[in-house]
Chain A
């Protein structure tokens, strides 16, 4: 056709351009010509110009000036112009453009055109880019076309209706009656469209779903017909009769049978039939089988059928075709939770797929392997996973490490195995582990008390070999600091003993401190470890002193602060150094301090000397019930004991409690009502009273007052408190820790409670004190607080 040659000529010229600049020049010229043509009156070449513009648009150049031309062409009476106009509308206009509204009227007219091809153009465009308003306007038209037209139009109207329902779900009710009747059509195209429409309606509206459950027998009939029918040249694909329709029907049956016994029963036989009769040597058959398996697993099918489905997936897993293996692993992933044992049977093949060349298959195999880990197979599976880690593609490493850690945490057969595994991961892929790994590992090491010697030896060796992996170095430094004495002792049952001299250890730590590879957090770890060693080694304390004092002028503020404080510990508070740097208690796993994965190692883990105004913020309880507060207090969430001791003895006058201030304030008034206080604990002559100083909507301030009626002083008084999960607690420094005898004095401590979620406030207080050289410890629960003074 002669006019079209110009389009092809232009394409040829553009393709002949040798450089990007030349191409741009050609296109600019052509666009200018097209724009000029658009401005002219109708001369029969409009459609070709628009086609040229669309080509230019596909190359990536702007073409918005063609939008109005599309609108004009759509309104033209000529078919070829309409065709190109609608194509342009689908490519250049979308619902966000204003011009799209202008074509609504044209579409409306064309939907009632005498020629079905014009109707189909309108339907296609509406179904492709119709906005919500357009859909609302034209929905009745579509419904009309669904009922009373030939199959060519019906199938297009059905899919157009699908688009409308997606855009404006409320219109679904409009199409429900028509779609029901479409199921009796013979034409596969119409049937397919009907099934898609019904699927869409059922997914959005549960009432419609109920309605269409009655259609299940009809669908089963259709499906049976397809499966058992002979060869149909029109619809046959590799021996399967119309796999597209089969898959859609299976999907609809899945939705209808979900959570419904009657529908599922009706479908059981059909699914068994499809599963056994479908030839899966080609992709088409496999696609149908795949959909069948998904349907079987999703509805309430009988167990024999489920076993059949898993077996099909197992067969897929051994298929040579990578796609099929990938698909089977995807499906196994979906059912591994519910049919765990069935999937376990195929574990060997899945683990083999870890070694496949294909990255997608590897990813699927990894996910599935991690899901299959159980107490029984943990050792062998972990070996495979660690092997995989050493050769896995970089984008999967982070996922692999976190998966390995989770699995190790849940199913570790022994602590030593657990520690070994984590260390192995850190050495292989330490750069890809999550931040929480360091505190988690430290917590694990502290609980494995028998293995301290073994662990510290192993970590020391790792540190000496390589200091580039930050997480490993941090853990190693921490362990050497804590268990340095075990390291220096030399003997260890679990590994061969190596004589480690104090200088070697200090050398290693200093290397870490000075290396440019160490992050600031790591250096903090190393400095603190060096400090801790001052109490654990005997000969080189001076060396440590000098290291610490050097860092007193370090540029990094964190290191400088630590060094200065450690210096102070050496000089002024040397008598406390041993107590401050002694070994940490076992860290309780449930305390949230343990999940505080800051890269500085977590301020709770690292033993920093406290600052002037000591504020002990106790961790919140992890569980919802108040009774779990007991676990929290019993597990000693953090090592607070030295800190209050430090604050009360090292610091001089402590800031007086707010309760005291309040009383002073009140003292200024003429009438000073004494705020009501409640006795919460009374034992051994020690009385603890609680009074509410201030209460707001979201918090309160209370003062705990301890008095002593015995004839000897009560010493080392400490109060600890715990509150429900969403409440925040802040305990100010106590006024002292000695309660004079005979009620001559008292110790007060202010507690601030912040309750943003306004849950019911309860508190548990643990009282520890030494009375007549006997250490006592009691816990008391406070369920109701007295009302405040005003």
Chain B
């Protein structure tokens, strides 16, 4: 996978993850073209597109479009499953996730993504493992915070 983008129906970016080094200008260009291409698709069309030398897979969940750029040897149908799994993980974490959750807690969305994918490849295939890791990291964070806010004697 080269990149993963989330954007709304109006074309506003909600999450971007780049798995290869890309310049800022190129990133903006790709984002613009992806939003244009994906938003222009009629409702019941197939989820696959071709752009430059990449295969683009996108899926719409409520008001958010999840869009990835794949290389030639990647399996498109499996990528649909990957996107679905990510949505499921978000759903589990936030409890009935909606776009606002991702807007206001974007850093959490990134942390979940980093537990699920790394370098464009799947890191963890188990549904429960990601959730457990997130919980433990949260407790670690809270512990640290409590520790820091405790007055020193």
Contact = CB atoms under 8 A, between A and B. Distances in A.
Interface of A: 1, 8, 11-12, 15, 44, 51, 54-55, 58-60, 78-80, 83-84, 87, 90, 94-96, 115, 117, 123-124, 127-129, 152, 155-156, 159-160, 162-163, 166, 188-189, 192-193, 196, 233-235, 237, 242-245, 247, 251, 283-284, 286-287, 290-291, 322-327, 357-361, 363
Interface in B109-152: 110-111, 114, 118-119, 121-129, 133, 136-137, 140-141, 144-145, 148
A283 B46 contact: no
Interface stretch (B16-24, B60-68, B90-98): B16-24
A127 B46 contact: no
B123 A156 contact: yes
Query: Which of the listed residues B22, B85, B118 has the most CB atoms from chain A within 10 Å of its own CB?
Result: B118
**Interface band, chain B:** 35 or more
Most interface-central of B50, B73, B124 (chain A CB within 10 A) = B124
Contacts of A83: 111, 137, 141
Contacts of B14: 58
B50 A79 contact: no
B68 to A, nearest CB: 14
A234 B75 contact: no
Given A323-B80, A327-B76, A357 B111 contact: no
A291 B78 CA distance: 9
Given A79-B140, A117-B140, A358-B46, A192 B22 contact: no
B48 A326 contact: yes
B130 to A, nearest CB: 10
B129 A189 contact: yes
A166 B19 CA distance: 12
B16 A58 contact: yes
A651 B100 CA distance: 86
Nearest to B137: A117
B28 to A, nearest CB: 7
B49 interface: yes
B36 interface: no
B94 to A, nearest CB: 14
B73 A95 contact: no
B45 A94 contact: no
Contact of B119 (A159, A251, A286, A291): A159
A160 B128 contact: no
Contacts, number: 157
B16 A155 contact: no
A196 B127 contact: no
23 contacts: A1-B145, A8-B104, A58-B106, A78-B144, A80-B141, A95-B21, A117-B136, A123-B118, A124-B114, A152-B133, A163-B119, A192-B123, A234-B127, A234-B128, A234-B129, A244-B81, A244-B125, A247-B78, A251-B75, A286-B77, A291-B78, A327-B48, A361-B46
A290 B119 contact: no
Contacts of B104: 8, 11-12
Contacts of B133: 117, 152
Interchain residue pairs A-B with the least CB separation, the first 10: A287-B77, A322-B46, A287-B78, A159-B118, A189-B124, A358-B45, A163-B119, A234-B126, A244-B125, A79-B144
Contacts of A160: 118-119
B110 A87 contact: yes
A65 B14 CA distance: 22
Given A78-B144, A155-B123, A189-B125, A87 B107 contact: yes
A244 B84 CA distance: 12
A287 B50 contact: no
A54 B111 CA distance: 14
Contacts of A54: 106-107
Given A11-B104, A94-B22, A234-B126, 10 more contacts: A1-B145, A159-B118, A163-B118, A188-B125, A291-B75, A322-B44, A326-B48, A327-B76, A358-B42, A360-B50
Contacts of B110: 87
Contacts of A152: 133
Nearest to A242: B125
A87 B111 contact: yes
Contacts of A87: 107, 110-111, 114
A243 B81 CA distance: 9
A559 B48 CA distance: 50
Contact of A360 (B22, B45, B77, B129): B45
Contacts of B75: 247, 251, 287, 290-291
A439 to B, nearest CB: 32
Contacts of A51: 107
A11 to B, nearest CB: 6
Given A189-B124, A235-B126, A357-B45, A290 B107 contact: no
A159 B1 CA distance: 13
A326 B55 CA distance: 12
A237 B107 CA distance: 27
Contacts of A163: 118-119
Nearest to B117: A159
Nearest to B105: A8
B13 interface: yes
B47 A243 contact: no
Contacts of B54: none
A15 B45 contact: no
A127 B121 CA distance: 11
A159 B19 contact: no
Among B46, B77, B84, B121, find the residue whose CB has the most chain A CB atoms closer than 10 A: B77
A284 B80 CA distance: 9
A159 B77 CA distance: 22
Contacts of A55: 106
B49 A283 contact: no
Q: Name, among B28, B44, B76, B128, the residue most crowded by chain A CB atoms within 10 Å (CB to CB).
A: B76
A79 B103 CA distance: 23
A160 B80 CA distance: 24
A743 B140 CA distance: 110
Nearest to B118: A159
A359 B40 CA distance: 12
Contacts of B122: 192, 244
Contacts of B121: 159, 162, 193, 196
Given A115-B140, A188-B126, A247-B75, A60 B46 contact: no
B19 A128 contact: yes
B82 interface: yes
B74 to A, nearest CB: 9
Contacts of A1: 145
Nearest to B126: A234
Contacts of A290: 75, 77
Contacts of A359: 45
Nearest to A323: B46
Contacts of B28: 60
B136 A128 contact: no
A72 to B, nearest CB: 16
B114 to A, nearest CB: 5
A188 B122 CA distance: 11
B149 to A, nearest CB: 8
B145 A11 contact: no
Contacts of A95: 21
A360 B103 CA distance: 32
Contacts of B49: 360
B21 A129 contact: yes
Nearest to A80: B141
A21 to B, nearest CB: 17
Contacts of B50: 360, 363
Contacts of A237: 81, 85
Nearest to A197: B121
A98 B52 CA distance: 30
Contacts of B77: 283, 286-287, 290, 323-324, 327
A159 B123 contact: yes
A1 B107 CA distance: 14
Nearest to B45: A358
Contact of A60 (B13, B42, B103, B144): B13
